[in-house]
Chains A and B, each alone.
Chain A
């Protein structure tokens, strides 16, 4: 459930000529391992690390129970983040340099899609999907250009 749309809304200006480059160390998605440490601190979460064949996953359990997973490549670059729980986490923090374009695309997507439903943002370099309902919100963001060859987007679970 989420407020919503209507037929006849003009497509919002979907012109997104410039994508801010992800800023390592200040961001999570697209950032390096140090950005993950920043996230533990800023999100106030409890962290554990799970190994993957091509890297590892930092799992951050937020105080409210939402679990955030940050997928890092073998080169320690965050190529995906996922979340699931009673609230959405701070996506500005998690998406870092990708947040602005995500917001713009979210506005455009919402103007286009005639309905209240899951939000899907697809760009050549970025996929963000989110959905849910009261007490259970989930989603994922993937920096497509950063996904290791060995990783499959379908493996990135919330």
Chain B
């Protein structure tokens, strides 16, 4: 079963010369000069709403060979910095649980064939990254690109290229962080990850701390320098780390809004909505009556109370399901089939009610239903589910995944930015 690519994203005409939804060639020309490029991108890349600060997003199957469940996809254009040599990448996953643009190389089954300049340290060594995800990691060099999203642009942004043939060898210290490598199309499930979480860069000050005599290893094995002798963990200045493209926009840079329609119980084949840049900066991104829940600036999380207990929680468009505690706490049975291990399989749909609590003390009730995951996923052509849920780690936290977003406008304000309604970082809905 194949679903159409994002229907409202009209990138085929201008941005990519050689095919829409297939593999595009490198060096596609968008226009002449940055002014023209900006105009071209507005007409080619903006959403059906026509606003320069928004792009269309669609829950669909993702890349042609993947049938992604609850994946929120869009297209993103990358250009050699300061030039009009660009390529549009389709099926980029919109992920509020990570930060920065990561694009899968064509050499690893992705679309990116554009040759982008590598970021180098002061000593000339190329910089690479081992970025942790919830159950995977991605490895590859940091390269520089102009990122075009609708009418917004991030100039000379450090991005990660995943599966880059020039950096094929994954250091042991990277693979030793556990989980599986997401350096192939099957592993990543997308042609790119567009990380638009609530911080300006993916790692922050910790990754910028140089090794000391007492601590000779760089913490975390996240950033590396890669001289010809091999890659070694290294400190990288905050501004040279992979950046949240939204933070680099000249306007509408204090956060995002994800606006998705409700989907029927038991799912829908697809769902289309809008990713809007900025909060309270334009007519289409006013906070309105949304409840602001501020977050811990270190953990980037808030709290959820359920049955009298309080748990850590966060909202992540990149998680396919809501991960909600465990069967002992919810009294909802998990699926017996190993295929659906860790997901909930109630005999009939159950309803859970919880209260999200911000660091600012603000509260917001959430009620959601949990359907039988095996039934949802075993039949039909549906790929968008508002009632898909499973257990979390040790029954101790709640990950409000993509099902949370259906039927809501969800706001994410970026740390250190000024946004209406509260101190950042925050989430509001």
Binding site for B on A (CB under 8 A): 1-9, 11, 44, 62-66, 86-93, 95, 99, 102-103, 106-107, 109-110, 112-120, 129-140, 154, 157-158
Q: Could you say which of B69, B187, B193, B199 contacts A135, with CB atoms under 8 Å apart?
A: B199
Segment touching A, from B5-13, B274-282, B394-402? B394-402
Name the contact of B323 in the complex, choosing from A63, A86, A118 (C-beta under 8 A). A118
Is B301 on the interface with A (CB-CB < 8 A)? yes
Chain B window 303-317, contacts with chain A (Cβ cutoff 8 Å), 1 for yes, 0 for no: 000000000001011
Residue B95 interfacial (CB < 8 Å)? yes
Given contacts A5-B320, A116-B189, A154-B394, 15 further A-B contacts (CB under 8 A): A2-B133, A2-B318, A3-B187, A62-B220, A86-B203, A87-B177, A89-B177, A90-B173, A103-B180, A112-B339, A114-B69, A114-B339, A118-B135, A133-B301, A133-B314
Alpha-carbon distance between A84 and B375 when the two chains are bound, in angstroms: 35
Residues of B close to A95: CB separation below 8 A: 178
CA distance A118 to B219 in the complex (A): 23
Q: Can you name 14 A-B pairs with beta carbons within 8 Å?
A: A2-B133, A2-B319, A4-B320, A5-B320, A7-B69, A66-B220, A88-B132, A115-B390, A117-B134, A118-B392, A120-B393, A133-B399, A135-B300, A139-B178
A62: chain B residues within 8 A (beta carbon):
219-220
- Interface members, chain B 118-146 (any A CB < 8 Å): 132-136, 138
B209-234 interface (Cβ within 8 A of A): 209, 215-222
B172 nearest in chain A by CB position: A92
Nearest A residue to B382 via CB reads A7
Shortest CB–CB separation between residue B374 and chain A, in angstroms?
10
In the complex the two chains form, what is the Cα distance from A117 to B180 in whole Å? 13
In contact, B132 and A87 (Cβ under 8 angstroms): yes
Q: Which residue of B lies closest to A153 (CB)?
A: B394
Q: What residues of B have a CB within 8 angstroms of the CB of A106 in the complex?
A: 135, 178-180
Q: Which residues of B contact A (CB under 8 A)?
A: 61-62, 66-71, 93, 95-99, 132-136, 138, 172-173, 175-180, 182, 186-190, 193, 195, 197, 199, 202-204, 206-207, 209, 215-222, 298-301, 314, 316-321, 323, 338-343, 373, 377, 388, 390-394, 396-397, 399, 401
Q: Knowing A3-B188, A4-B189, A106-B179, say if A116 contacts B319 (CB, 8 Å).
A: yes
A63 and B217 in contact, given A116-B320, A119-B179 (Cβ under 8 angstroms): yes
CA distance A132 to B198 in the complex (A): 14
The smallest beta-carbon distance between A147 and chain B, in angstroms, is 15
Q: Pick the most buried of B98, B99, B172, B202: most chain A CB atoms within 10 A of its CB.
A: B98
Name the one of A107, A129, A134 contacting B98, with C-beta atoms under 8 angstroms. Answer: A134
A residues in contact with B394, CB < 8 Å:
129, 140, 154, 157-158
3 A-B pairs with the lowest CB-CB distances in the bound complex, closest first: A64-B219, A1-B318, A1-B97
Residues of A within 8 Å of B93, CB to CB, are 3
Asked if residues A118 and B199 are in contact (CB atoms below 8 Å), the reply is no
Chain A positions within 8 Å of B190 at CB level: 3
Q: Which of A9, A65, A107, A131 contacts B206 (CB 8 A)?
A: A65
Chain A hits for B172, CB < 8 A: 92
| Contact assessment for A135 and B204 in the assembled complex, using a CB-CB cutoff below 8 Å | yes
User: Which residues of chain A have C-beta atoms less than 8 A from B180's C-beta?
Assistant: 103, 106-107, 110
- Cα-based distance from A86 to B323 in the complex (angstroms): 20
Point out which of A103, A115, A120, A131 has the most chain B C-beta atoms below 10 A from its C-beta.
Answer: A115
List the B side residues contacting A118 at CB < 8 Å: 134-135, 323, 342, 390-393, 399
Give Cα A109 to B391, complex, Å: 14
Please tell me which one of the listed residues B98, B135, B220 contacts residue A117 in the complex, with CB atoms under 8 A apart.
B135
A6 in contact with B222 (CB, 8 Å) = no
- Decide if A44 touches B98 in the complex (CB within 8 Å): no
Q: Which of B68, B323, B390 is the one whose CB lies under 8 Å from A4?
A: B68
B135 cross-chain contacts in A, Cβ below 8 A: 2, 106, 110, 116-119, 130-131
Decide: A115 near B69, CB < 8 A? Known: A4-B320, A120-B391: yes
Give CA–CA (A112, B250) in the complex, Å: 43
Q: Which residue of B lies closest to A107 (CB)?
A: B180
B400 nearest CB across to chain A (Å): 11
Q: Is the CB of B397 within 8 A of A131?
A: yes
B197 touches A117 (CB 8 A): no
CB-based contact A117/B321 at 8 Å: yes
Taking CB as reference atom, which chain A residue is nearest B135?
Answer: A119
User: Which of B182, B219, B323 has the most chain A CB atoms closer than 10 A to its own CB?
Assistant: B219
B residues near A119, Cβ cutoff 8 Å:
134-135, 179
**A112-B339, A116-B320, A134-B199 are contacts. A6–B62 as well, Cβ < 8 Å?**
yes
Pick from A2, A65, A113: contact of B340, CB under 8 Å: A113
Q: When chains A and B are docked, how far (Å) is the Cα of A91 from the Cα of B346?
A: 34
Contact B132 A1 (CB under 8 A): no
Contact residues in A for B69 (Cβ distance below 8 Å): 5-7, 114-115
Cβ contacts under 8 Å, B300 to chain A: 133-136
Cβ of B98: which chain A residues have Cβ within 8 Å of it?
Answer: 1, 133-134
Expressed in whole angstroms, the Cα–Cα distance for A145 and B249 within the complex equals 54
- What distance in Å separates the Cβ of B368 from its nearest Cβ neighbour in chain A? 16
Query: In the assembled complex, which residues on chain A have CB atoms less than 8 Å from the CB atom of B391?
Result: 118, 120
Select one of A110, A117, A136 contacting B319, CB under 8 A. A117
